[in-house]
Amino acid sequence: MFVQAIYESKARARITENTIGQIKTTALPNNVAHAVTSILYYDNWRFLQVVEGRPAQVVETMKQITTNPIHHSVKLRLMSRQSARGFGSWPLGILSVEDFELRRTLKNMGYRNLFQLNVLDAVKVIKRTTGRKLRTMDSLEKRALTDLNLLKKVEHSPNLTEQILGLRG
């Protein structure tokens, strides 16, 4: 069983590429280490993030977010049990208000940003956008994701040498 938490927060300062870089530097390794997947949407002053994983890891991740000085006014919008991950391919996916696919989807629905939607519709839009991104991702990016997953499997293999040499499958 997985848990999916969706929160909204405000930024203490205008969100810049530097802000997102700081988040990537700390959150991505933590997410990978704790088997948490997430999608972070942001505009100039707000965040909306879907965090998913095992209950203890999601709770720990949410604690880190609420104590992070980048965020304030963190509001948990929804927490639910899931039988599968909605964003299993994204240890830390990031979507900005400027994302072309996202803007196109929102425009087709008659909206300008995700904060205008209720939380369930916002998640549907994020899923649609990230699904398109995965389908249109170039082969090198897909290969990198596949190689990362293979590397994780190999790292946990009891007989690493034979796995690397391809002697046993």
Mean pLDDT for 9-22 is 94
| pLDDT the model gives residue 89 | 78
Query: What average pLDDT does the segment 16-41 reach?
Result: 92
Tell me what the mean pLDDT of segment 10-32 comes to: 93
User: What is the rounded average pLDDT for all residues in the chain?
Assistant: 83
Smallest Cα–Cα separation from 122: which of 63, 40, 20?
40
* For range 161-169, the mean pLDDT: 47
Quote the pLDDT of residue 131. 77
Q: In this prediction, what percent of the chain has a pLDDT beyond 90? A: 51
Per-residue confidence (pLDDT) for residue 150, from 0 to 100: 54
Give the model confidence (pLDDT) of 133-145 as tens digits: 666 555 555 556 5
Strands 46-53 and 37-42: antiparallel
Beta-carbon contacts of 44 under 8 Å, excluding residues fewer than 6 positions away, are 14, 15, 97
Are 93 and 24 a contacting pair, CB within 8 Å?
A: no
pLDDT exceeds 50 at position 154:
no
Residue 145 DSSP label: H
| φ and ψ of 94, to 5 deg | -130, 130
Domain with CATH 3.30.70.100 in the chain: 2-136
pLDDT range class, residue 155, cuts 50, 70, 90: very low
The architecture (CATH level 2) of 2-136 comes to 2-Layer Sandwich (3.30)
